Structure 1
Amino acid sequence: MSILGDLVGPGSGVFGVLDDLMKRLWPDPAQQAKARLELLDMQQKGELAQLDAALKAQLAQAQIEDDEAKNGRLFIAGARAFIEWVCGVGLGYQIVARPFLVWASGAWWHVPAPPTLDMQTLFSLITSVLGLGGLQIAHKVFTK
């Protein structure tokens, strides 16, 4: 069974993930038992259901993105790559090419300087496409 099936399947989900995480973090059985009691308390209060719903939504989105990337049609699979190329070209222009063009336009060509790009929009697009938001970074930090 796949990881997605293991996490979303009955009797698993967030509780199974957190239980496995507790085994890794606390090798002492007494500390594991204490952490399990707190986890069960969270489950009874309903907090774990909210975490489980959020995890399932994230996993479903990841599965959709994986299916889109595997699609053979360029219009579907190429959309993310197109946005990444546009962002890469925009950053290359703004950070590498534009300073040289400004210098050359003033020193040699005697024409107005080339336009600047809206970097706030470009960076917000890059961070969202590449998944550089806080949740992705936290996931990478805490799963090492």
Structure 2
Amino acid sequence: MGLFDITGLGGVTDVLKELIQLFPNAEQRERAATKLQDAESAIAAAQSATNTAEAASPSFFVAGWRPFIGWVCGLGFVYTIVGAALHLPAIDTNPMIMILTGMLGLGTMRTAEKITGVPPSTLGKVARK
């Protein structure tokens, strides 16, 4: 996932990577790409620390919000599938899909890692070469 990637579908860094390619000087492109990767790494590390702190919290309202949202989305999908069979009113699943893909980390970076078979910890190292 990129910088400011709330939905898991792509972010500001995807646009910045495209803009970096417009730099006329190869050295400038390299420096800008390195700074962008450093910023992404710092944000990912901060998010990881936040996730660890949340998971370790004894408060249900801090540690339990992700499982709660996951269960709500899961139940929404079950209602949609069962509801269609029982002719119940349909609900819009688009908001649930956006939330769930973001929570599960199903952004474009993870998809690229899986397609190329590169472990997540080495993707940035490969891109810099």
- The offset of 1:46, in angstroms, is 4.5
The reply on whether 1:117 has 2:91 as its aligned counterpart is: yes
- Whether the aligned pair in 1 keeps the contact of 2:84 and 2:90 (CA below 8 Å) is no
The reply on whether 1:128 has 2:99 as its aligned counterpart is: no
Q: Which of 33, 44, 51 lines up with 1:58 in the alignment? A: 44
* Structure possessing the higher relative contact order (Cα contacts under 8 Å, 6 or more residues apart): 2
Give the structure with the larger helix fraction.
1
- The offset of 1:55, in angstroms, is 0.7
TM-score, structure 1 as length reference: 0.56
* Alpha-carbon distance in 2 for matches of 1:42, 1:90: 48
Q: Which residue of 1 aligns with 2:73?
A: 87
Let me know the Cα RMSD of the aligned residues: 2.3
Q: Which residue of 2 aligns with 1:34?
A: none
Q: Which amino acid aligns with 1:133?
A: G
Listed as ranges, the matches of 1:1-144 within 5 Å are 45-95=31-81, 97-102=82-87, 114-140=88-114, 141-143=117-119
**Structure 2 unaligned runs (5+)?**
1-26, 121-129
**Structure 1 unaligned runs (5+)?**
1-40, 103-113
* Alpha-carbon distance in 2 for matches of 1:76, 1:132: 23
TM-score, structure 2 as length reference: 0.61
**Larger of the two Rg values belongs to structure:** 1
| Number of residue-to-residue matches in the alignment | 92
